[in-house]
DNA sequence: CCGTACCGATCACTCGCACAACAATTCTCG
DNA sequence: CGAGAATTGTTGTGCGAGTGATCGGTACGG
């Protein structure tokens, strides 16, 4: 479900055109609306070349002309005609699979959420049950999509380890899933056969924050997601760090306190036993059945408890290992850390400074997600959109038109 | 001293030619000797195109025709004329700066070591003293280079943290250097002005093992270097993982045992206090003044001592964190681990299996360096050669001809 | 011994981008 | 208020890079 990696191939002219068209669309996707003049300077190509590429995108129905937008005019000269994302252009379906709920959205280019729906899913539900719930949500978000708009694919964020080669969910501890082909289940429930991409939620959070959130323009960032488990998504050099099989970023099981609590992985004192949802809940004496609503509970606090302060210190100290090892420019704190961090910022920063080496410490910043709780959902949209940026013509050629009819038939 | 990162630029025809010429040379560098037919299928380009590129490389003096090499003929047909690296072609100078000695080599394309020299350097020597020793070694390895052979640049492997933006050595604990511009020092001692690239030794070990050692064809590997400190070099997706400023891979300070020995970084129980050279020396009761010769001492053992077994277990358990976080396909054990690992293989494997998550564990392999103790030296050569693969014409255009005269004048 | 297979060399062809000239539009300065 | 400067879109031309077909050369195999 993911394209194989490129080898040391040569480049021919066809590839040049594909690459340039895809890069132009990537820029448009990033900015949403821009002038041809901006594109010219960004891509370093000739004006005429940009004009040709823009014309091709328009004929593909991806972009449309816009009036010379009345933004700040910085100088003399003929105003540059705008290029903007077409209203009925290509879109994807993004699925954010959580432990207790699923969020589904129809997302267009530019990361615009066009429709959204969500529903609770049972914690220990069978995969096929969850799959049919998700399929129902997908049907609802595409209920009033215009027939001319092409569906490029589906992206799914999973709270677990996803094998890159085929998108198989190897292990989702909190869903109690082992080796589930969730992409196939959803497609079967829909009766469709379109591209489906799956990836780990933290990886997708990192991707979305890099493209549209707190990490725009930052090529080396880490998104640390605090939920029941703790995971990290890594962006390096502007690319996703996936590892050999797609499992990279399992920072939750870093050795933190060999005398600590037992972890479900079989060891003791893994970092996530000190800063995961259960540890946070314990620090604020939150009853076990309210751990799923930990966000709301945490928001009730104006001052941290001593237990929370300790959790904050542990969070900072664990982040120190991550910063030492990855040397990121920004660390984005997602999941429950998003509400925890503002409460115990001082302790986190102190724990980080205490254990990080001077050189990597001086260039790192801690940040909250710029996309709030939508990071993973928008990350799922990004991986589904990706084929458009590699080869727009091919991706649109294989996209699905008139989804409502296809779903009805 | 390192080229800036590429942004989302477009591709023009000039870039295509550069890229194809560089890619062809990269293949030739990897295989040393190949037929045009192989190049055709590897790069996916037309025969005529390959012929044109090969002709250009020949006119640049980089490659030369070889007789249809008498290797295994797999089928009928006219034998494909060979392409091989030119005898008097471009070369680089590689420097492996160790704690107690420096190795300098003249290295040609294909990673061939053409000349080599080494000398002891004082542990706490001033940087300029070490620089002039290295300069003398460089003079000796280029003493009988033919005048027509161009010198592309110098690559230096450093046992410390190197800032990527300018090659500044931020910290080399065992040399007791802070913020040393060693590249500039060496150039000044030589009286030359040519490109110098510096990088961390573990990073370069990883690069060399990926290109020419135990990791050929492996796109996700980690080279863990055990010396006085412990560091890691990471290759992901076939690229170096450097982090925002170049400091990525500092695994030696991963938290291992919070009640453990104090580390020079100010914390307690960092992993390198358990598996670094001093810990190994302690495990075998090696006197402190022989730590520099730990390799030879270790080679004297046929059976591991109980202390070494414990070190092996700690090594495996620490590697587990690395495997969980990076999900590599291969972990190469360099430095002192190269002699330690065969002694305590069982303990390392057991420690790794005990603490690694099942999914990343199933795809990882432990390996010894395919290049022996030359990994870092050849990695230094690789970064110096890199400009040739990005743009052969430009790199050769700015290369230095007739080095002997330039050094004399 | 001859047919087949494979490779190198050559040349016309296609395609994509760069360049130059011109038109359109706005700003600025006198 | 008007002319020139500045910037951008448009169009046609040219260059360069890779493609594809053809021919000739060399080896293998029956």
Instruction: Work out the burial of residue B323: count CB atoms within 10 Å of its CB; fewer than 13 is exposed, 13-18 middle, 19 or more buried.
Output: buried
Mean pLDDT of A260-283: 94
Distance A78 CA to D5 C1' (A): 12
Kindly state the average pLDDT of the residues B303-314.
95
Q: Are residues A56 and A128 in the same domain?
A: no
Which CA-bearing residue is nearest the C1' of C9? B48
Whole-angstrom CA distances from A207 to A381, B21, B243 are 10, 33, 16
pLDDT for res B1: 39
At residue A33, does pLDDT exceed 80? yes
The verdict on B362 and B235 lying in the same domain is: yes
**pLDDT-based confidence at residue B6 (cuts at 50, 70, 90):** very low
Region A281-297: what's the mean pLDDT? 86
Q: Which residue has the tokens 């969020």?
A: A103
Compare CB distances from A327 to B11, B243, B357 and report the shortest one's residue. B243
Is residue B7 a part of any domain in this protein? no
Chain A: nearest CA to B182, how far in angstroms? 18
Over 90: is that where the pLDDT of B112 sits? yes
B16 half-sphere exposure, CB direction, 13 A CA radius: 14
* DSSP at A113: E
Whether A343 and A400 share a structural domain: no
A16 touches strand C (CB under 7 A): yes
Contact A101, A54 (CB under 8 A): no
Q: Which nucleotides of C are covered by protein (CB under 7 A)?
A: 3-12, 14-20, 23-28
CB nearest to B244's CB, from A49, A246, A327: A327
Chain segment B28-66, per-residue pLDDT in tens = 999 988 999 999 999 999 999 999 999 999 999 999 988
A83-130 residue pLDDT tens: 999 999 999 999 999 988 999 999 999 999 999 999 998 766 799 999
Measured to protein CB atoms, the chain D nucleotides within 7 Å are 4-12, 15-21, 24-29
Residue A49 Cβ under 7 A from any strand C atom:
yes
Same domain, B197 and B218: no
Domain CATH for A128: 3.30.420.40
- When pLDDT is cut at 50, 70 and 90, the band that residue B10 belongs to is confident
Question: Checking phi first, is residue A238 left (phi over 0); if not, alpha (psi -120 to 50) or beta?
Answer: left
- Residues in chain B within 8 Å Cβ distance of A171: 358-359
Q: Which residue is nearest to nucleotide C11 (CA to C1')?
A: B48
* C-beta atoms of B364 and A237 within 8 A: no
| pLDDT tier for residue A56 given thresholds of 50, 70 and 90 | very high
Q: Are residues A245 and A333 in the same domain?
A: yes
Domain boundary among B66, B85, B104: B85
| Domain interval for residue A270 | 215-369
Distance measured from the CA of protein residue B390 to the C1' of nucleotide C14, in angstroms: 28
For residues B229-256, average pLDDT: 97
- Between residues A69 and B142, the one the model is more confident about: B142
Å: A15 CA to D21 C1': 23
Chain A: closest CA distance from residue B176 (Å): 15
Dihedral over Cα of A139, A140, A146, A150: its sign: negative
Q: Is B274 part of a structural domain of the chain?
A: yes
Are B78 and B140 found together in one domain?
no
Q: Are residues B292 and B327 in the same domain?
A: yes
Same domain, B224 and B363: yes
Residue A302 backbone phi and psi in degrees, to 5:
-100, -30
Q: A245–B359: do the CB atoms touch at under 8 Å?
A: yes
pLDDT at A198: 98
A363 within domain boundaries: yes
- In this prediction, residue A67 carries a pLDDT of 76
B350 in the same domain as B244: yes
Same domain assignment for residues B198 and B342: no
Q: Which pLDDT score, from 0 to 100, does residue A10 have?
A: 77
In this prediction, residue A389 carries a pLDDT of: 96
Closest nucleotide relative to residue B51's CA, C1' based: C8
Say whether the CB atom of A20 is under 7 angstroms from strand C.
yes
Q: Measured between alpha carbons, how far is A260 from A270 in angstroms, rounded to an integer?
A: 8
Mean pLDDT of chain B: 93
For chain A, what percent of residues have pLDDT higher than 70? Answer: 96
Please tell me which residue of chain A has the smallest CA distance to B22: A10
- On whether residue A300 sits in a domain, the answer given is yes
Does the pLDDT value for residue A186 go beyond 60?
yes
The pLDDT > 90 percentage for chain B reads 83
Among residues A32, A58, A85, the one where a domain terminates is: A85
As a whole number of angstroms, the distance between CA B217 and CA B215 comes to 6
Those residues whose beta carbons lie under 7 A from strand D are A 10-13, 35-37, 40, 47-48, 50-51, 75-81; B 13-14, 16-17, 20, 45-49, 52-53, 68, 73, 75-79
**How many domains, chain A?**
3
Can you give the distance from the CA of residue B53 to the C1' of nucleotide D21 in angstroms?
20
At A1 the pLDDT is 39
* DSSP labels, B245-313: TS----GGGSB--TTS-B-TTSSB-BTHHHHSHHHHHHHTT--GGGGGGHHHHHHT-SS--HHHHHHHH
Give the whole-number percent of chain A exceeding pLDDT 90.
84
Q: Which residue of A has its CA nearest to B168?
A: A359
The CATH number covering residue B31 comes to 1.10.10.10
- Angstroms from B224 CA to nearest CA on chain A: 12
- B282 part of a folded domain: yes
pLDDT on residue B71: 54
Binary contact (B327, A246; C-beta < 8 A):
yes
Q: At what angle do helices A47-59 and A13-31 cross, to 10 degrees?
A: 80
CA/C1' separation A59–D4 (Å): 38
**B-chain residues within 8 Å CB-CB of A239?**
237, 239
Asked whether residue A12's C-beta has any atom of DNA/RNA strand C within 7 A, the reply is no
pLDDT tens digits, one per residue of B342-384: 999 999 999 999 999 999 999 999 999 999 999 999 999 999 9
The answer as to whether B5 is a domain residue is no
B78 and B97 in a single domain? The answer is no
Distances (CA, A) of B357 to A124, A253, B313, B324: 22, 8, 17, 6
pLDDT higher than threshold 80 for residue A36 = yes
Measure the CA–CA gap between A219 and A148, rounded to whole angstroms.
36
Is A121 a member of any domain? Answer: yes
Distance B68 CA to C5 C1' (A): 17
Q: How many CA atoms lie within 13 A of A179 on its CB side?
A: 2
Backbone angles phi, psi at A218, to 5 degrees: -100, 120
Residue pair A83/A25 in contact (Cβ under 8 Å)? The answer is no
Q: CB of A220 within 8 A of CB of B243?
A: yes
Closest CA in chain B for residue A9: B43
B270 and B184 housed in the same domain:
no
Question: Closest approach of chain A CAs to the CA of B136, in angstroms?
Answer: 31
Boundary (domain end) residue, out of B85, B105, B134: B85
Check whether B236 has a pLDDT greater than 60.
yes
- Which of the two residues, B75 and A210, has the higher pLDDT score? A210
Contact B171 A358 (CB under 8 A): yes
Residue B190 in domain: yes
Mean pLDDT of chain A: 93
How is the beta sheet containing B239-240 ordered, strand by strand?
A: B239-240, B230-236, B221-226, B330-335, B365-367
Distance A38 CA to C19 C1' (A): 20
For B400, which DSSP code? B
């Amino acid at each position: 479900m993911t394209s194989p990696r490129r080898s040391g191939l040569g480049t021919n002219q066809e590839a040049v055109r594909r690459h340039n068209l895809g890069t132009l669309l990537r820029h448009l996707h990033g900015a949403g609306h821009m002038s041809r003049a901006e594109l010219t300077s960004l891509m370093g190509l000739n004006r005429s070349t940009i004009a040709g590429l823009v014309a091709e995108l328009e004929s593909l129905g991806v972009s449309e002309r816009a009036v010379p937008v009345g933004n700040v005019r910085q100088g003399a000269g003929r105003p540059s005609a705008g290029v903007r994302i077409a209203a009925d252009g290509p879109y994807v379906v993004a699925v954010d699979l959580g432990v207790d709920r699923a969020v589904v959205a129809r997302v267009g280019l530019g990361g615009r959420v066009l429709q959204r729906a969500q529903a609770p899913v049972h914690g220990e539900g069978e995969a096929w049950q969850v799959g049919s719930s998700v399929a129902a949500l997908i049907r609802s978000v595409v209920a009033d999509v215009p027939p001319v708009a092409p569906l490029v694919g589906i992206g799914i964020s999973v709270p677990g380890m996803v094998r890159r080669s085929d998108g198989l969910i190897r292990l989702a501890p909190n869903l109690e899933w082992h080796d589930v082909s969730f992409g196939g289940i959803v497609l079967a429930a829909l009766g469709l056969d379109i591209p489906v991409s799956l990836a780990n939620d933290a990886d997708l959070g990192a991707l979305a924050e890099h493209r549209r959130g707190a990490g725009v323009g930052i090529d080396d960032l880490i998104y640390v997601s605090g939920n029941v488990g703790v995971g990290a998504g890594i962006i390096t050099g502007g690319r996703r760090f996936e590892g050999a099989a797609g499992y990279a970023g399992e920072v939750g099981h870093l050795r933190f306190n060999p005398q600590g609590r037992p972890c479900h992985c079989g060891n003791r004192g893994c970092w996530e036993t000190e800063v995961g949802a259960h540890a946070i809940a314990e620090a604020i004496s939150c009853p076990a059945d309210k751990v799923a609503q930990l966000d709301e509970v945490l928001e009730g606090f104006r001052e941290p408890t001593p237990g929370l302060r300790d959790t904050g210190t542990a969070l900072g100290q664990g982040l120190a290992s991550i910063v030492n090892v990855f040397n990121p420019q920004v660390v984005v704190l997602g999941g429950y850390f998003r509400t925890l961090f503002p409460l115990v910022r001082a302790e986190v920063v102190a724990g980080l400074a205490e254990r990080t080496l001077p050189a990597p410490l001086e260039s790192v910043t801690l940040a909250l997600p710029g996309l709030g709780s939508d990071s993973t959902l928008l990350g799922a949209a990004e991986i589904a959109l990706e084929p458009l940026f590699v080869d727009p013509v091919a991706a649109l050629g294989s996209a699905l038109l008139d989804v409502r009819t296809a779903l009805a038939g």
